[in-house]
Amino acid sequence: MPRVDLPGAEAMGEVVARIDAWIERERSADGTFGLVAAERQDVEDRTASHRWYLRFRGEEKDAITVWLTLRQRTLHHEAQFMPAPEANVTEVLRYLLRRNADLYGMAFCFGPEDAVYLMGRVPAPLVDDDELDRIAGSSIVYVDDHYPTAMTLGHPAIYRRRHPRR
């Protein structure tokens, strides 16, 4: 990732405005990603300046929530993919690590409670409509594509695929 100088308050305010405007367009009839809900929070613990929670409809997973966090230099994005695998842990990890090679701008990672997340980050000055489209679209596609296999392996007793293989 290229080195990015620390943006000033005005530049960060422009990034916040671009994200807010993108969200409003997605909420409108013209939205292409099925945005169901969005919420913005100011962050006061100095780890970030703003955080957005975006909820999209999924095919295999009812809802796909993408968290956007504007940090000092980057926009961090993550989506909770699945709970920690309870069975076939090695096979689940092998599957996800192999899938990482095909993902663009994000990767499967462990998060809190060993849950699996899709995570990535983008330099704050590069955040625009195209980048936000990529983040939302990729998050939705990657979850819908890989969730059934990972859940079938990691939670065979409780997960049943909704749609037959395409």
Question: Which residues in 83-135 belong to E strands, given as ranges?
Answer: 107-110, 116-123
pLDDT of the residue at 11: 87
The pTM (predicted TM-score) of the whole model is 0.90
What are the b/e assignments for 35-68, b being 16+ CB within 10 Å?
Answer: beebeeeeeeeeebbbbbebbbebbbbeebbbeb
Mean pLDDT per 10-residue interval, the chain, length 166 residues: 70 94 88 89 77 94 95 94 97 97 96 94 95 97 96 92 63
pLDDT of the residue at 154: 97
**How many other C-beta atoms can be found within 10 angstroms of the C-beta atom of residue 109?**
15
pLDDT of the residue at 4: 58
Interatomic CA distance for residues 164 and 166, integer angstroms: 6
Q: Is 144 exposed, middle or buried (0-12, 13-18, 19+ CB in 10 A)?
A: middle
Residues 6+ apart with CB under 8 A from 5: 73
Q: What is the 3-state secondary structure (H, E, C) of 14-39?
A: HHHHHHHHHHHHHHCCCCCCCEEEEE
Torsion of CA 23, 28, 33, 36, to 10 degrees: 80
pLDDT of the residue at 160: 78
What domains does the chain contain, in order, with CATH numbers?
9-154 (3.30.1460.10)
138: tokens are 């990729």
